[in-house]
């Protein structure tokens, strides 16, 4: 049986990151999608790409493939491979996968799915799932505020409007299951992707924001308004605060499983007026005179 080099199929190195694998898959899937490509071999090529991604996008299946792939090609065992019990049951028929895949994973390969099939309204150009009755995966982009608050979100999926309940404090990579919304009765799993931005980002359990502070306030001390996940708050600015300093807001970070929260850090950015009023310009002028070198 021929060995399947899934890394070569996707055109990535064996130490490629999850993001590199995902990017390569998306590029190839769009190029070889049977509804797009005029190449008569596009469908088989697409299946091969999907099979490679099914394995390499799953950390457990990837580890298993790296360890036992060569042995599977050489048929060095009969029946289920060693350590196969680490995987969950494979729902549906795996006949659309290669003989190599079936020899390696048998009926224990875990859920498949391309991550695109039938979801063009929400997730862009569709890709075809690898088998009937398949569970599908697709990304669900959420702002930090949406993920923190949770609640209901209405999505358009495959021409159908669905209401998704998002758990408060959902994390990056967490999956939300929509039963029966996959292909032919399979389930749809929405993979949460948190959308961070320059002025507010999440690192671990902590939130980092940029706090713009007028230069005079930084000199003499005072307060500034800072955005948190719970809304704007007044932040105390110590006298002599320098640009780049981080001020901590305890317990204003991301929710943890034990009910506590991380912290928030406000990174100070000093600002000066670009269009000062005449009075501001006069006062800044006086300050400049005081600072002149004698």
Domains of the chain and CATH, by start: 6-106 (1.10.287.110), 136-195 (2.60.260.20), 200-271 (2.60.260.20)
Res 80 pLDDT > 60: no
Average pLDDT over residues 216-234: 94
Read off the pTM.
0.52
Residue 48 reports pLDDT greater than 80: yes
pLDDT tens-place string over residues 130-146: 444 578 888 889 999 99
Q: Quick one: average pLDDT of 186-207?
A: 90
Q: Considering the chain, what is the average pLDDT of its residues?
A: 81
Mean pLDDT of 64-91: 57
Predicted confidence at residue 229, as pLDDT, reads 94
pLDDT value at residue 72: 63
Q: Looking at residue 79, what is its pLDDT?
A: 45
- With the CA atoms of 282, 284, 290 and 292 taken in that order, what torsion angle do they form, in degrees rounded to the nearest 10? -110
pLDDT of residue 170: 94
Is a pLDDT exceeding 90 seen at residue 213?
A: yes
Position 188 scores a pLDDT of: 87
12-41 mean pLDDT: 88
Give the residue-averaged pLDDT of 19-28.
92
- Where does the pLDDT of residue 118 fall: very low under 50, low under 70, confident under 90, or very high at 90 and above? very low
- The pLDDT of residue 101: 84
């Amino acid at each position: 049986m021929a060995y399947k080099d899934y890394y070569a199929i996707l055109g990535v190195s064996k130490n490629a990151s999850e993001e590199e694998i995902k990017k390569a898959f998306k590029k190839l899937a769009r190029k070889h999608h049977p509804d797009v490509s005029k190449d008569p071999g596009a469908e088989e090529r697409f299946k091969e790409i999907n099979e490679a991604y099914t394995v390499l996008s799953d950390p457990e299946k990837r580890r298993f493939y790296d360890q036992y792939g060569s042995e599977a090609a050489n048929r060095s065992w009969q029946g289920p491979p060693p350590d196969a019990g680490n995987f969950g049951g494979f729902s549906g028929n795996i006949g659309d996968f290669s003989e190599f895949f079936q020899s390696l994973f048998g009926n224990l390969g875990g859920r498949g799915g391309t991550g695109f099939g039938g979801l063009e309204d929400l997730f862009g150009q569709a890709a075809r799932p690898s088998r009937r009755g398949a569970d599908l995966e697709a990304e669900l982009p959420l702002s930090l505020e949406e993920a923190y608050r949770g609640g209901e979100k209405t999505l358009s999926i495959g021409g159908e409007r669905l209401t998704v309940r998002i758990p408060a404090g959902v994390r990056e990579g967490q999956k939300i299951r929509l039963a029966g919304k996959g292909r032919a009765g399979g389930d749809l799993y929405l993979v949460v992707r948190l959308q961070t931005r320059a002025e507010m980002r999440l690192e671990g359990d902590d939130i980092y924001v940029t706090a713009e502070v007028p230069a005079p306030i930084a000199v003499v001390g005072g307060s500034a308004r800072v955005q948190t996940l719970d809304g704007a708050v007044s932040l105390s600015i110590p006298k002599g605060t320098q640009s780049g300093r981080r001020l901590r807001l305890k317990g204003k970070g991301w929710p943890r499983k034990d009910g506590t929260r991380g912290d928030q850090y406000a990174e100070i950015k000093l600002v000066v007026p670009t269009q000062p009023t005449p009075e501001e310009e006069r006062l800044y002028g006086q300050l400049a005179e005081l600072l002149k070198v004698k």
